[in-house]
Amino acid sequence: MASNPFEDDGADYLVLVNDENQHALWPAGLDIPSGWTVAQEASSRADSLAYVEEHWTDMRPAGLISGS
């Protein structure tokens, strides 16, 4: 049975960000989806989650934040 590459505590992840400032953990080694850029290079899942927690403090899409 294959493990889920998005939930592997032993794997390295990139932190991706899109134009709406939404963040996502992405398994290192997979192609980056269109519309996303690397905000943090490959590191542990724990470090990647900490980066997201520190840098994505408002979960609303950027378009809603600037429009408020």
In CATH, what number does 13-56 get? 3.90.820.10
Give the pLDDT of residue 68.
54
CA distance linking residue 5 with residue 40, whole number of Å: 18
Mean pLDDT for the stretch of residues 20-33: 95
Confidence of residue 32 (pLDDT cuts 50, 70, 90): very high
Let me know: does 11 contact 47? Beta carbons within 8 Å: no
Q: Where are the domains of the chain?
A: 13-56
pTM of the predicted structure, to 2 decimals: 0.85
Q: 3-class SS at 64?
A: helix
Residue 40 scores a pLDDT above 70 = yes
